[in-house]
Structure 1
Amino acid sequence: MEQHYLTGEQIAAFASHLVRAERTPATIEKYLRSVRAFFLYLDGRPVTKDAVVAWKEHLQSVGGYSPSTVNASMAAINDLFTFLSWPDCRIHYLKVQHRLFRDAGQELGREDYERLITAARESGRERIALVMETICATGIRVSEVRYITVEAAQEGRTTISLKGKIRTILLPGKLCRRLLKYAKKQKITSGEIFLTKGGKPMGRCQIWAEMQRLCQKADVEPSKVFPHNLRHLFATIYYRVYKDIAKLADILGHSSIETTRIYLMTTGQEHRRQLERLQLVL
């Protein structure tokens, strides 16, 4: 059997393939990080199924990664093998039972969110306050913030094209007014609203870093503060009010309601209260 050896040129070709496949920048970054880590782990050794299994075990035992993180790495590696036509190297994912509840230490509640917004405005950081309100009020991904334009605020809607899917997001009237007021103050007459001082679009890392800087003043645990948690908060509150998971899946841009269901997991504390209300311990 022919031996497979992974090279830097193959990784570069895989990166180009991901771009052509219209994967999101975040997905591309995550996949390439996993592939490069695997490349370093191999240290010139051939790629075999046994080597991939050992890599998976290495991530669990030495790296201490969670099963979901290990599976995310395996998804990247398996995608690479498909691209290289090395089906004999593909391996199975770890079997993970669906969790019934989310870690309370990473659960961003409405009170946490409101304190973050207040802290941002009291510190004169209107831009990050408005970014957080925009994500939380619409449920968009942080990578979709670039679709929030002056024209979108004027029309009260924006069309998002991502992952091969196109969906229209409605913007609340109060949010539109704030966006237009901010754009006027910043002398932005058209195009994207959330820009850096150099006129470039704000990136995921910058948004995350600015949110983190608010934690101490807002008295919110840093482990709870990251952009995607704002999207989770939108999903949780929307479902509590309307109980329509199918429509929520459409709003979030999910192809499967199973994905949306993950967003609606309660915290362990809330799950415990639900069990207590059953009153089955006599």
Structure 2
Amino acid sequence: MGRTAEEAPSLHGHAEPDKPSLAWEQAEAYLEALRGRGRTPETIKTYRRNLLMLFRALPEDGRLDHTALARWRDAMLEQGYTPRTINVRLAAANGFLGYLGLRGYQLPVQLKPAKDDIQPELTRNEYLRLLSAARALGKERTYFMVKTFAVLGLTLHDLPNLTVKAVEAGTLMATANRSHQIIRIPNSLQAELRDYLQREGIQSGSVFRTRNGKTVNRTSVTGCIQQLARDARVAPEKCNPRCLRKLCQSTRESVQQNISLLVEQALDRLLEQEQITAGWEVSGYDK
């Protein structure tokens, strides 16, 4: 059942009738509606995370057009997300737009995963074995390729953006959903890269380059990483930038979920303490 005009949140300023602007307040109202329908807290968190990613894919003013979800889908495919993950995110976006009465902007067609499209999962222990193998074999450049994809979550397309200047600044610019995203280089990786650049005598340009100074091509990057498979005792199909990037994403999501839980627990403790200090007497509430 769709919502009536009175039930649905109003859309914010329209630059033109067919391009509404979405606001996060509408997403919060949608999440609250889902909560009222009995959706579990974990489901609400998943919806919230997926809607946040949708908003990051939109322009800063939240402007929506009829190809916005298709562009988002294509960007996620390019970044290495599986069809199943993309379908889940699109389902959240479609539900949100249906709630707002914007069904004309939905993308109902779901991706069909190919039989061999199940992306193998690289574990952190396997990732560490790849690093150890690269060190044991003296393949320093490959070591940093592996670490860069797993720590920064870069795509192959964005690898040339890791330059000497970016290492010095501690940040680099990457593209996500056709928008620019600033990625912070953690201090430990930054220190390692600085030492590597000094040893290699690289003073400008891309960090990963061939002997004649050109940026390494995508095929060479994947090939270098896959050469570690046997010594690292890791399946070759896991030794690629896509699996390393996916490991970065899953690690970040796990950390974020843990942080969200800690925030909720800290808030509960704060409210309980305030209840004890200044709260009204509540029947059955144990002070």
TM-score, normalization: structure 1? 0.50
Bigger-Rg structure (1/2): 2
More helix by share: 1
